[in-house]
Chains A and B, each alone.
Chain A
Amino acid sequence: MKRPASITVLCVLGYISIVLAFPQVFSPQVKKLGLFMPVLSGVLVAANFMAYVGIWYMKRWGAELFLYSYFLKTILDILYEQTGLLFYSGQLFSLVFSIVLLRYYQRLDQNL
């Protein structure tokens, strides 16, 4: 299936957000939140990246992984009170992405 333009644009934005989020994994602020917080954030960033790759190839597992990681990240951010401007802009982006994904969900490939 040909990738819709909206997904292409959102995926490119997603890749850029990964490049920006990657250094935050080991930032002093995240390190202060706890010993395993950088590990957890790292797992979430990696999962997010894999999800974008999956969505790029129009795979259903990519959309599912994206939704799971988005849900987990939101819980983690709320738990650790990381609800600044970055949080809200991330939420908005993920929400738009989720809506677009749900729209094309039936057309996504079920294989790996």
Chain B
Amino acid sequence: MLWLMFKESVLFAWQSLVSNKLRSMLSLLGITIGIFAIILVFTIVDSLEANIRGSLQSLGNNVVYIQKWPWSFGPDYPWWKYINRPTPQYHELDEIAKRSKTTEALAYRLGGRRTIKYKSNVVENAVVAGISYDYYKIKAFDLSAGRYFTKNETDAGYRMAIIGSEIASGLFPNEDALGKEIKIAGQKGKVIGVIKKEGESMLGVSFDYQVNIPFNFARYILDPRSMNADPVLFAKAKPNISNAEMMDELTGILRTIRKLKPLAEPNFALNEISLLSQGFDTLFAVVGIAGWIIGGFSILVGGFGIANIMFVSVRERINIIGIQKSLGARNIFILFQFLCESVLLSLIGGFFGLLLTYIATIFAKGVIEMEITLTGANVILGFSISVLIGVISGFVPAYTASQLDPVEAIRSN
């Protein structure tokens, strides 16, 4: 019975929409724009978030970065407190390794942008990274050809390099890179490995544009005491050891190594990925709220448009309602009939809004090198909002229609 009533109501609603095509199209435009605005913003925010969180994950959740500068967001960054701090040094790596019981791996890295040459081929502004042996345990990467350094090679500072895929294709477009001698800021180095292509990263930490060389070789190219070389000590926690636990131990060890008095402020920063995540959380929240406000207003306006058109629709069909009621149609049937019409109108608007969003994501893929995906959750959200706005804006006109007196309704012009 209920199903039959629903079916008939939908059919009535459909006929009404089809008979007034232009009016229906114009009234659902508000919903289309509203759904498009809000779902597009949610889609972009979700995709950006997934991308950045993926990049952050690749940096390692259980890795602590020992640096001069703390990672912090906001306008009140007290840089003058940190400017005179010493940069982390390579010898501190061994000192920490001797004392630490919570770290699984420790590594050192310093980097800078330099020019790489092979014969007449040149790659400008490549990232040259001087690394210690255990660096691969901190930041995993796959090699498409060749091998990683041995412990002896990194410690002795052999003139060798492991290059990223973009560097390899820039220097060796038509030949194999392995075994070739390249020039890194004028210093000769032999290519022993090529890193598998990683693709673009939102945080710009891709290995594709990087040349990794042993730290003791990097000393000839980069100055470890310079702030520009951004020296970092990485500490990775053992399984079942929390970052907080490891950071407590590292604080004690570093204070001992640097001979800091008990009340002296630490002259190092222990940074972890969660700090970056927190910064991004704030950013995403702001963007999400902005999209929500813009889309919300559009949907509200669209809702008023549908309510208006439904009142017109009731007024136009007042005689028909009277006839239906005099032939035995119940109030609930009339209510359902008009409610279905407004929900259907709103759903069609929502569908076009989602279609526009989908087209925008395809278009965006071609313009920016980032995966923007319209997720199932956002599609459900889009349709839910459409149904909700349809119900809210159509209920009052539908209820008014259902309450009409059949005699009065038939008599009215």
Report which A residues bind B (CB closer than 8 A).
18-19, 22-23, 25-28, 31, 35-36, 38-39, 42-43, 45-46, 49-50, 53, 57, 111-112
Contact = CB atoms under 8 A, between A and B. Distances in A.
B384 A42 contact: yes
A42 B384 CA distance: 7
Contacts of A45: 388, 392
A23 B292 contact: yes
A32 B88 CA distance: 40
Contacts of A35: 377, 380
The SS class assigned to the A binding surface is: helix
B385 A25 contact: yes
A63 to B, nearest CB: 15
Closest CB pairs A-B (n = 6): A28-B288, A23-B296, A42-B388, A46-B391, A39-B384, A112-B331
A53 B395 contact: yes
A26 B292 contact: yes
Contacts of B296: 22-23, 26
A86 to B, nearest CB: 16
Contacts of B403: 57
Contacts of B292: 23, 26-28
Nearest to B292: A27
A46 B388 contact: yes
A27 B38 CA distance: 10
A110 to B, nearest CB: 13
11 contacts: A22-B300, A22-B392, A26-B385, A27-B292, A28-B289, A31-B42, A31-B377, A31-B381, A38-B381, A38-B384, A53-B396
Contacts of B45: 28
B387 interface: yes
B380 A46 contact: no
B329 interface: no
B387 A42 contact: yes
A27 B294 CA distance: 12
A17 B399 CA distance: 21
Contacts of B38: 26
Contacts of A49: 391-392, 395
A112 B391 CA distance: 17
B285 interface: yes
Most buried by A among B335, B392, B402: B392
Nearest to B378: A31
Interface of B: 38, 42, 45, 285, 288-289, 292-293, 295-296, 300, 331-332, 335, 377, 380-381, 384-385, 387-388, 391-392, 395-396, 399, 402-403
A36 B381 CA distance: 8
B100 to A, nearest CB: 37
A32 to B, nearest CB: 9
Nearest to B35: A26
A53 B307 CA distance: 14
Contacts of A53: 395-396, 399
Given A28-B285, A53-B395, A57-B403, A42 B385 contact: yes
A38 B380 CA distance: 9
A41 B174 CA distance: 60
Q: Which of A23, A26, A49 has the most CB of B within 10 A?
A: A26
A112 B334 CA distance: 11
A42 B350 CA distance: 15
Nearest to A36: B380
A45 B303 CA distance: 14
A90 B258 CA distance: 57
A111 B402 CA distance: 12
B388 A112 contact: no
A49 B391 CA distance: 9
Contacts of B396: 53
Nearest to B285: A28
A112 B324 CA distance: 17
A42 B385 CA distance: 7
A7 to B, nearest CB: 17
Contacts of B285: 28
Contacts of A22: 296, 300, 388, 392
Contacts of A39: 380, 384
Residue picked from A28, A31, A50, most chain B C-beta under 10 Å: A28
Given A23-B293, A42-B384, A43-B388, 20 more contacts: A19-B300, A22-B300, A23-B296, A23-B300, A25-B385, A25-B388, A26-B38, A26-B381, A26-B384, A27-B292, A28-B45, A28-B285, A28-B292, A36-B380, A38-B385, A39-B380, A42-B387, A46-B391, A46-B395, A112-B331
A46 B296 CA distance: 16
B297 to A, nearest CB: 8
